[in-house]
């Protein structure tokens, strides 16, 4: 359903005028950055592309019935004047709740006033905006396979457009599940090389067969051997993608270095090397600098592989892309999603990145059946409540972050609270029905009012076998 948002000369962008007198510009060092907000969801609609707002200095009103600023005309849960944004001389944003009916939330926490940081999720009624500090002028390039509006994705597409036609070796640095092979294939497509794209997982190659599989072998090179060209020669004229290159056996590393230097391979059992025209794209989720220090990986090989390093942002660092990717993964026909599900998706830490999102989309499609609106209760067991999933400030990715959310240990206080919730007896059916009526079936509002997690509320609903949709009319 289309939203009634102002149109601008730049697609998706609304330039907000300052409401205070102009002051001399502040001199900043380095690349100029601005704070922008992307409206990614409003009133059951995923906005594709997101609506982009660039606040100027002064006060910017937000609400269902504001003449300028950030209008949310179709959001029935937003107050007429819900909140205001205040930008200081450095462009930093502060949100102030204007005694709204349903409250203003930052990363799932209700606030009266809060300073907004890069990567924060701002909730106004049933509308969600992602705050981003980004370069004032962000380059982009057409790479159809890489979806997303986040600044990190724009920078990645622009970098692929630049490096693709060259012959340099590219090293992709990313956490597991970020789509390294998709990026590697995009580099191959941008290279316009006519040969094939061949992917190999280095961690899956048995150590004793690594040399033979990569470089090939002659007939009778070992007992019963039949001549094989190897992966390098199979990719001749194209691109060889070495995934998880950090797991390559140490005995093979110097031989790979020689191939990268000479562009020739020496098959097992041969005495004369064979020329091979292959573009190498490697990838790892390991900290190779630590492996070099521990003598598990050769420094000279790392230098050769990382002629052009490319970082791929983790999904939690590009929250403005989560709902767009979900919509893509759900396929057609595309059902709408409830505000509670939108919020949970935006605040989930996504330890397994895009791969986890695609798996969750498949579960939603199966469990949701023919439903017109997909709700949180379908996947509540897979998504953490907002109170424990608030995103940390995002940062540009130049190397994989080893501190994955899945490795974090919950505090003893949080564990005790969850255990107490699980032991707590549910309210009786009449009380729960009254709560559902009072909050129009919005589970997130019930959870906030009762200071319980949404998982707990859903457990109560399941205990009494109640249909939430019946209260949402």
DSSP letters, 111-150, are ESEEE--TT-EEEETTEEEEEEEEESS------TTS---S
Per-residue model confidence (pLDDT) at position 328? 94
What per-residue confidence (pLDDT) applies to 349?
93
CATH architecture, domain defined by 317-471: Orthogonal Bundle (1.10)
| Boundaries of every domain in the chain | 13-135, 151-311, 317-471
289/410 Cα distance (integer angstroms) = 29
Predicted local confidence at residue 265, as pLDDT: 83
- The pLDDT value recorded for residue 36 is 93
> Which CATH fold would you assign to the domain 151-311?
Rossmann fold (3.40.50)
Cis ω on the peptide bond leading into residue 252 (within 30° of 0)? no
Query: How buried is 222 (Cβ within 10 angstroms: 0-12 exposed, 13-18 middle, 19+ buried)?
Result: exposed
pTM for this predicted structure: 0.75
* Residues of the chain below pLDDT 70: 1-31, 217, 219-227, 269, 384-424, 473
Residue 309, strand partner residues: 171
pLDDT digits (tens, 9 = 90+) for 440-453: 888 878 887 777 77
69: phi > 0 → left, psi -120 to 50 → alpha, else beta; which? left
Backbone angles phi, psi at 221, to 5 degrees: -65, -30
pLDDT of residue 412: 47
Contact partners, residue 21, CB within 8 Å, separation at least 6: none
Name the class of domain 13-135: mainly beta
Q: How many CA atoms lie within 13 A of 114 on its CB side?
A: 20
pLDDT in the model for residue 308 = 95
| C-alpha–C-alpha distance, residues 125 and 63, integer Å | 9
- Report pLDDT for 449: 77
Check residue 6 and give its pLDDT: 52
């Amino acid at each position: 359903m289309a939203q009634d948002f102002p149109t601008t000369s730049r697609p998706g962008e609304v330039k907000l005028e300052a409401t205070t007198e102009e002051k001399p510009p502040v001199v900043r060092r380095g690349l100029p950055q601005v704070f922008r907000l992307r409206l990614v969801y409003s009133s059951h609609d995923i906005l594709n592309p997101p609506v982009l707002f660039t606040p100027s200095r002064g006060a910017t009103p937000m609400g269902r019935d504001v003449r300028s600023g950030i209008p949310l005309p179709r959001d029935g849960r937003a107050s007429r004047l819900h909140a205001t944004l205040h930008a200081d001389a450095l462009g930093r944003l502060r949100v102030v709740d204007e005694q709204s009916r349903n409250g203003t939330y930052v990363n799932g926490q209700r606030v009266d006033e809060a300073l907004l940081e890069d990567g924060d999720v701002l909730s106004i009624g049933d509308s969600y905006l992602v705050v981003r500090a980004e370069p004032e002028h962000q380059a982009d390039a057409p790479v159809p396979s890489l979806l997303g509006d986040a600044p990190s994705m724009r920078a990645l597409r622009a970098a692929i457009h630049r490096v693709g036609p060259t012959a340099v070796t590219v090293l992709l640095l990313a956490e597991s599940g970020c789509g390294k092979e998709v990026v590697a294939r995009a580099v191959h497509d941008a290279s316009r090389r006519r040969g094939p794209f061949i992917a190999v997982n280095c961690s899956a190659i048995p150590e004793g067969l690594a040399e033979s599989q990569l470089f090939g072998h002659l007939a009778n090179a070992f007992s019963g051997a039949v001549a094989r060209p190897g992966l390098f020669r199979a990719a001749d004229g194209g691109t060889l993608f070495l995934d998880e290159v950090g797991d390559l056996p140490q005995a093979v590393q110097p031989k790979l270095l020689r191939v990268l230097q000479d562009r020739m391979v020496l098959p097992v059992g041969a005495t004369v090397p064979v020329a091979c025209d292959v573009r190498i794209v490697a990838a790892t989720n390991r900290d190779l600098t630590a492996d070099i220090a521990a003598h598990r990986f050769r420094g000279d090989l790392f230098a050769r592989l990382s002629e052009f390093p490319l970082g791929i942002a983790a999904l939690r660092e590009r929250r403005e892309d989560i709902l767009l990717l979900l919509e893509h993964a759900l396929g057609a026909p595309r059902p709408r999603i409830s505000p509670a599900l939108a919020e949970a998706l935006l605040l989930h830490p996504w330890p397994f990145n895009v791969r986890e999102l695609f798996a969750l989309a498949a579960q939603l499609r199966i469990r949701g059946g023919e439903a017109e609106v997909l709700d949180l209760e379908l996947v509540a067991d897979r998504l953490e409540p907002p109170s424990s999933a608030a995103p940390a400030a995002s940062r540009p990715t130049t190397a994989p972050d080893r501190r994955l959310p899945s490795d974090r240990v919950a505090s003893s206080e949080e564990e005790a609270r969850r255990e107490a919730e699980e032991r707590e007896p549910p309210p009786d059916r009449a009380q729960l029905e009254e709560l559902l009526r009072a909050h129009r079936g919005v589970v997130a509002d019930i959870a906030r009012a009762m200071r319980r997690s949404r998982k707990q509320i859903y457990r109560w609903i399941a205990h009494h076998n109640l249909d939430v949709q019946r209260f949402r009319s």
